[in-house]
């Protein structure tokens, strides 16, 4: 089972591997820089080599780089579009240097341009990227608030259909739940996975962000909870972990650190629920 957490690159990107091992994780996700600012990734050659070596030696992978929160692929604004494309280009280049397989991105918000135009904008922005061989851009599902796109399977399918890039999908379980896709029972998980398979396709699903939700299904509220302790609950998380169409994918945790528990607790909990 591939299970890990979003880890820090503070003090050097190779430290993310050591942190992952502290959680008993064997795959994971990082930011290449602060996600709150426009900033290019900057890694010294020795750190790149150390990250690659430690990941290989410890058997940790695949890794995902999560793009900046400022990136908005759907935007109708030319300046923001160009900044978003440039930021994503730097991310895929950083992934190539580090040997990271995936760069994860949210579609962003159309801010009044409309769903169809927003999807057109996102696909055309993705098509401007020169993605190195061995790196795949993943479009992440969204919680679906406001004019943000990605909260419906139709949005994900729409971008795939429009883009010439070889794009994959990352489903965030808390986002799915917030957007109205029930995951709280084995039957609900089966129905949601079947719907995704029919509308988008399991063949493009590359990764799952495994998070429980502090809020009810369909609320569009994105706040993560410890596995099995939110509104998705034990039965739903267990069904996700054991679903035959999902179980071989990497599961990346973005669960909170609170109540004296953090990533290590959730990694262990995932393994317990996997065998449930």
pLDDT for residue 276:
61
CATH class of 3-274: alpha beta
Q: Domain residue spans in the chain?
A: 3-274
pTM: 0.97
Question: Are 106 and 118 within 8 A, CB to CB?
Answer: no
pLDDT in tens, the chain (276 residues): 999 999 999 999 999 999 999 999 999 999 999 999 999 999 999 999 999 999 999 999 999 999 999 999 999 999 999 999 999 999 999 999 999 999 999 999 999 999 999 999 999 999 999 999 999 999 999 999 999 999 999 999 999 999 999 999 999 999 999 999 999 999 999 999 999 999 999 999 999 999 999 999 999 999 999 999 999 999 999 999 999 999 999 999 999 999 999 999 999 999 999 986
| Pairing outcome for strands 212-213 and 205-210 | unpaired
């Amino acid at each position: 089972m591939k299970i890990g957490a979003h880890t820090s690159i503070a003090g050097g990107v190779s430290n993310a591997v050591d942190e992952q091992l502290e959680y008993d994780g064997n795959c994971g996700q990082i930011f290449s820089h602060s996600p709150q600012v426009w900033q290019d990734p900057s890694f010294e050659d020795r750190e790149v080599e150390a990250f690659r070596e430690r990941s290989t030696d410890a058997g940790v992978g695949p890794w995902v780089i999560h793009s900046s929160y400022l990136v908005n692929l759907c935007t109708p604004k030319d300046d923001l579009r160009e900044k978003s494309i440039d930021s994503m280009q730097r991310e895929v280049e950083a992934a190539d240097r580090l040997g990271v397989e995936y760069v994860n991105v949210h579609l962003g918000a159309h801010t009044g341009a409309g769903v169809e135009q927003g999807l057109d904008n996102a696909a055309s922005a993705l098509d401007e990227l020169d993605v190195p061989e061995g790196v795949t851009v993943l479009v992440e599902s969204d919680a679906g608030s406001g004019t943000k796109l990605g909260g419906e399977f139709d949005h994900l399918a729409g971008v795939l259909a429009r883009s010439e890039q070889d794009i994959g999908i990352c489903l965030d379980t808390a986002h799915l739940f917030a957007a109205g896709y029930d995951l709280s029972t084995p039957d609900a998980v089966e129905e949601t996975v079947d719907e995704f398979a029919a509308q988008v396709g399991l063949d493009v699903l590359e990764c799952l962000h495994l998070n429980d939700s502090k809020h009810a299904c369909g609320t569009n509220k994105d706040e993560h909870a410890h596995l099995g302790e939110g509104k998705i609950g034990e039965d739903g998380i267990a069904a996700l972990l054991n679903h035959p169409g999902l179980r071989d994918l990497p599961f990346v945790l973005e669960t909170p650190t609170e109540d004296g528990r953090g990533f290590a607790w959730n990694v262990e909990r995932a393994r317990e629920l996997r065998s449930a």
